[in-house]
Chains A and B, each alone.
Chain A
Amino acid sequence: MKIRLTLLPYLIWSAVFVIIPLMLVIIFAFSTPEGNFTFNNIILVGKYSYVFLKSIVLGLVSTIVCICVGYPMAYFISKIKAKYQNVVIMLLMIPMWTSFLLRTYSWMTILEYNGLINKFLSSVGISKINMINTPGAIVLGMVYNFLPYMILPIYTILAKTDEKVIEAAQDLGANNLKVFWKVIFPLSIPGVVSGFTMVFVPSVSTFIISKMLGGGSIFVIGDLIEMQFLGNTYNPYLGSAISLVLMLMIVICMGIMNQLDSEENANT
């Protein structure tokens, strides 16, 4: 009985602040302002399917960019002297301690038409490029904000990889490239998978980055939800329905990732 007692506050807490709120989202998604049951909200969500599509594409692109950029970084970190690894990882995490809003805002200064990059370009005689308020700027903002979440899990796996496995492969005559593709990469897939979810979920649901770097002209799911709760149109019923669909998508996505993850584990 004693032991349970320490769990109880947490269980109550979770019930009140995690389970009930999610229930409320579901209830709101299926009710009218008068409190009657309806499917209308869910059907209305369908009208915004392009917004969903666009968010998913943007999220996927930035996740893939994160993998492509983050994987080599994680690999290189795992290859430097163990003594320095902690320092590098620490350096990687320090930016996360500065307000992410300000960092994103800072990108605005850098990318703007009269911003720092364009100032530099025009000073060396190259014509200015339009960078801000494009999908590219949004992807950059997402990659910038979520890259550490990709690097860290991959690094953790790579750092744990047994040197002996690699040596064994080398002894058996595999060249470096082959060792990487046949041994190291398959071993690190769980890291990539958890990095994928850690980047994809926030990218798909962000609304700040699209607002700041997209100039409000690229409309994503986060904007849509924010608009229903605190923005132009106060309609928590539709907002809940959109949140519910978003949650559903992410749950399925997590399911896929879990399957991939456990498969790789089973194989190795």
Chain B
Amino acid sequence: MKNKIYFSVLIIAFFSINLCFATNNSINVYSWGEFISNGSDGNMNVNEEFTSLTGIKVNYKTFQNNEELYAKISSGGADYDVIIPSDYMVSKLISKGLLAKLNFDNIPNYSLISDEFKNLEFDPTNSYSVPYMWGLIGIFYNKKEVKVPESDITWDILWDSKYKDKILMFDNARDSFAISLLRLGYSINSKDKDCWRKAADELIKQKPLVQAYVMDQIFDKIGNEEAVLAPYYAGDAAVVLKNNSNIGFVIPKSGTNKFVDSMCIAKNSKRKAEAEKYINFMCSTPVALANVKQTGYSTPQREVYELLSDDIKNNKIFYPDDETLKNAQIFVNLPENINKFMDELWIEVKSGGKTGNSWLLVVILFVFVIMYLLVVLYKKRKTTEK
């Protein structure tokens, strides 16, 4: 009898904990860091605005790169409603069946998106994603130390040994490989393993020159003049340029990566209608304008573009000339085998080209075991001596 009471108490305790934390009227948004107007500097606090408008709370969480997002989504270990992945991740998530088809009746503001951002390669029928921001990848350089005319700066400068220990690189396989591939003149979506191998060899050659592999920290480190050269997304560049006049930003004309981050809804979202409401809200012109103004990324919405100040509209970093745009490539999802190959190569790059083979590991374990045996033997001899 006592046993029974005991167990039922345990079980009740367990379920009551579970119940306590079942949240109701809120959505989980998973996005990039500093990718929304958050109310600082007198701008609109977009999420609070949404809550006061609809009564739906927004749990806003940030990720560092697309792969982190993918890991969290595909492990099932998270329940995000609205997610904002980049181009290639959208197509990967679609192909894995991890995105929900959007009901565009709930997103009337979709009509505000410019036509050149509809039906892009990563979502050809445009049924899963709504473009949020776009931009190009360029190079930060410190004018005090890099005395090269801006037009002469190409990806090669990141391989220049003059700037040893002053170069930062992306801590993300896809972006780093894109730079290496672009520099070699290959497609960033190459399906040829040889191209990837060559790109990896170049990255391995570059590693001794690299001070650190970081993502968002580039922002801080370039601004504080910890490093002199780094690739980065055009949007965030504006803030750094404003704060430190020694810093320049250039987009290589010969070719770069154009990214389009889009809003999507995760397949297992239980609050799809609310999530669509949120996406629609984000596309409304005042909200989109606030977001563009605070984050500094480029907008896919014509109306919003027209409302921007002339400095920004004419700024080549945000809205570059046609030649740069023509040479810019958008990521698409890679075939599974290339993806795997890239991951392997990336670990090889990060460990300096030396990854070793199974024998070394066996030797390491063997040394441990030998040490163990020696100690045991030593101990035995000592006790028998006594």
What is the distance, in angstroms, from A138's C-beta to the closest C-beta of chain B?
12
- Does A38 sit within 8 A of B, measured CB to CB? no
- Among A53, A130, A231, A259, the residue within 8 A (CB) of B364 is A53
Q: How long is the Cα–Cα vector from A224 to B3 in the complex, in angstroms? A: 46
Also in contact, A52 and B347, with CB within 8 A (given A215-B214, A256-B375): no
- Does A82 sit within 8 A of B, measured CB to CB? no
- Among B71, B355, B368, B382, the residue within 8 A (CB) of A234 is B71
**Interface members, chain B 327-386 (any A CB < 8 Å):** 343-344, 346-347, 350-351, 354-362, 364-365, 368-369, 371-372, 375-376, 378-379, 382-383
Interface flags for A200-239 (1: CB within 8 Å of B; 0: not) read 0000000000000011110100011001011111111000
Complex contact B211–A259 (CB within 8 A): no
Q: How long is the Cα–Cα vector from A45 to B355 in the complex, in angstroms? A: 10
Complex contact B67–A216 (CB within 8 A): no
Q: List B contacts of A113 (CB < 8 A).
A: 226
Which of B165-173, B244-252, B293-301, B316-324 is found at the contact surface with chain A? Answer: B165-173
Complex contact B351–A230 (CB within 8 A): no
- Does A49 sit within 8 A of B, measured CB to CB? yes
- Among A217, A224, A249, A267, the residue within 8 A (CB) of B212 is A217
Also in contact, A252 and B226, with CB within 8 A (given A47-B355, A53-B356): no
Complex contact A252–B368 (CB within 8 A): yes
- Among A133, A223, A233, A259, the residue within 8 A (CB) of B67 is A233
- Does B207 sit within 8 A of A, measured CB to CB? yes
**Interface members, chain B 186-228 (any A CB < 8 Å):** 207, 210-214, 224-226
- Does A114 sit within 8 A of B, measured CB to CB? yes
- Does A91 sit within 8 A of B, measured CB to CB? no
Complex contact B361–A263 (CB within 8 A): no
Complex contact A9–B383 (CB within 8 A): no
- Does B70 sit within 8 A of A, measured CB to CB? yes
Complex contact B355–A248 (CB within 8 A): no
**Interface members, chain A 242-261 (any B CB < 8 Å):** 245, 248-249, 252-253, 255-256, 259-260
- Does B10 sit within 8 A of A, measured CB to CB? yes
Complex contact A259–B372 (CB within 8 A): yes
Complex contact A230–B72 (CB within 8 A): yes
Complex contact B351–A50 (CB within 8 A): yes
Complex contact B212–A46 (CB within 8 A): no
Q: List A contacts of B357 (CB < 8 A).
A: 46-47, 49
- Does A54 sit within 8 A of B, measured CB to CB? yes
Q: List A contacts of B226 (CB < 8 A).
A: 112-114
A-B pair number, CB within 8 angstroms:
136
Residue of A112, A216, A256 contacting most chain B CB atoms (<10 Å): A216
**Interface members, chain A 17-53 (any B CB < 8 Å):** 43, 45-53
Residue of B nearest to A245 (CB): B361
Complex contact A46–B358 (CB within 8 A): yes
- Does B26 sit within 8 A of A, measured CB to CB? no
Q: List A contacts of B74 (CB < 8 A).
A: 234
Residue of B nearest to A228 (CB): B71
Complex contact A252–B372 (CB within 8 A): yes
Q: List B contacts of A249 (CB < 8 A).
A: 364-365, 368
What is the distance, in angstroms, from A159's C-beta to the closest C-beta of chain B?
27
- Among A133, A234, A255, the residue within 8 A (CB) of B372 is A255
- Does A266 sit within 8 A of B, measured CB to CB? yes
Complex contact A49–B383 (CB within 8 A): no
What is the distance, in angstroms, from B264's C-beta to the closest C-beta of chain A?
18
- Does A147 sit within 8 A of B, measured CB to CB? no
Q: How long is the Cα–Cα vector from A185 to B10 in the complex, in angstroms? A: 50
Q: List A contacts of B368 (CB < 8 A).
A: 249, 252-253, 256
Q: List A contacts of B171 (CB < 8 A).
A: 216
Complex contact A49–B347 (CB within 8 A): no
Q: How long is the Cα–Cα vector from A245 to B368 in the complex, in angstroms? A: 12
Q: How long is the Cα–Cα vector from A232 to B354 in the complex, in angstroms? A: 19
Also in contact, A5 and B67, with CB within 8 A (given A47-B356, A50-B354, A51-B351): no
Residue of A nearest to B371 (CB): A256
**Interface members, chain B 59-117 (any A CB < 8 Å):** 65, 67-68, 70-72, 74-75
- Does B6 sit within 8 A of A, measured CB to CB? yes
Complex contact B210–A217 (CB within 8 A): yes
Q: List B contacts of A262 (CB < 8 A).
A: 379
- Does A74 sit within 8 A of B, measured CB to CB? no
What is the distance, in angstroms, from A230's C-beta to the closest C-beta of chain B?
5
Residue of B nearest to A253 (CB): B368
- Does A150 sit within 8 A of B, measured CB to CB? no
Residue of B nearest to A50 (CB): B356
Q: How long is the Cα–Cα vector from A43 to B71 in the complex, in angstroms? A: 23
Interface flags for A112-123 (1: CB within 8 Å of B; 0: not) read 111000000000
Q: How long is the Cα–Cα vector from A262 to B375 in the complex, in angstroms? A: 11
- Among A49, A133, A227, the residue within 8 A (CB) of B356 is A49
- Among B172, B355, B382, the residue within 8 A (CB) of A263 is B382
- Does A56 sit within 8 A of B, measured CB to CB? yes
Complex contact B3–A259 (CB within 8 A): no
Q: List B contacts of A216 (CB < 8 A).
A: 171, 212-214, 350
- Among B10, B346, B362, B382, the residue within 8 A (CB) of A9 is B10
Complex contact A47–B65 (CB within 8 A): no
- Among A49, A233, A252, the residue within 8 A (CB) of B343 is A233
Q: How long is the Cα–Cα vector from A133 to B169 in the complex, in angstroms? A: 13
* CB<8 Å pairs between A and B, sample of 23: A45-B358, A47-B358, A49-B359, A50-B354, A50-B355, A52-B364, A53-B356, A56-B364, A113-B226, A133-B211, A133-B212, A215-B211, A216-B214, A217-B350, A224-B347, A229-B71, A234-B70, A252-B365, A253-B368, A256-B368, A259-B375, A259-B376, A263-B378
10 smallest CB-CB distances across A and B, nearest first, come from A46-B358, A215-B212, A216-B213, A49-B356, A49-B360, A49-B361, A50-B356, A233-B343, A234-B71, A232-B67
- For the complex with contacts A232-B67, A235-B343, 5 further pairs of A-B residues with Cβ separation under 8 Å are A217-B213, A217-B350, A252-B369, A253-B368, A263-B382
